[in-house]
Amino acid sequence: NAGVTQTPKFQVLKTGQSMTLQCAQDMNHEYMSWYRQDPGMGLRLIHYSVGAGITDQGEVPNGYNVSRSTTEDFPLRLLSAAPSQTSVYFCASSSPGQGKNIQYFGAGTRLSVL
């Protein structure tokens, strides 16, 4: 019962470095999303995907890229890390049914950019 798995759990980057946050789900969910969570600001949507090969921007997409080549995986790429990207990142998956979209979240990746 793995659910949504995020790696790594922690990461420290220097300004300008690039990296990829991994997300995998084993529930055969069509929808996958990336959020960032900053203190007092709740969850803000970065990018989302409604199926393999289909992605779209959320509320705060600048500085991030995504792709979805398989149903299971939805990696998030930071192109050139900035201190403003210090945050906790959550990946979520869901399978909309009967209109509702209940999301299942991973445990998060804590990223610090120095």
Partner 1 sequence: QKEVEQDPGPLSVPEGAIVSLNCTYSNSAFQYFMWYRQYSRKGPELLMYTYSSGNKEDGRFTAQVDKSSKYISLFIRDSQPSDSATYLCAIQNTNAGKSTFGDGTTLTVKP
- Do 72 and 25 contact (CB within 8 A), yes or no? yes
Q: What are 21's two structure tokens?
A: 């946050």
Length of the chain: 114
Residue of the chain from 19, 27, 45, 60 that contacts partner 1 (CB under 8 A):
45
Closer to partner 1 by CB, 85 or 103: give it: 103
Q: Which of 1, 2, 28, 102 binds partner 1 (CB under 8 A)?
A: 102
CA-nearest of 31, 25, 44 to 84 is 44
16 near partner 1, rule: CB under 8 A: no
Pick the closer one to partner 1 by CB: 65 or 95.
Answer: 95
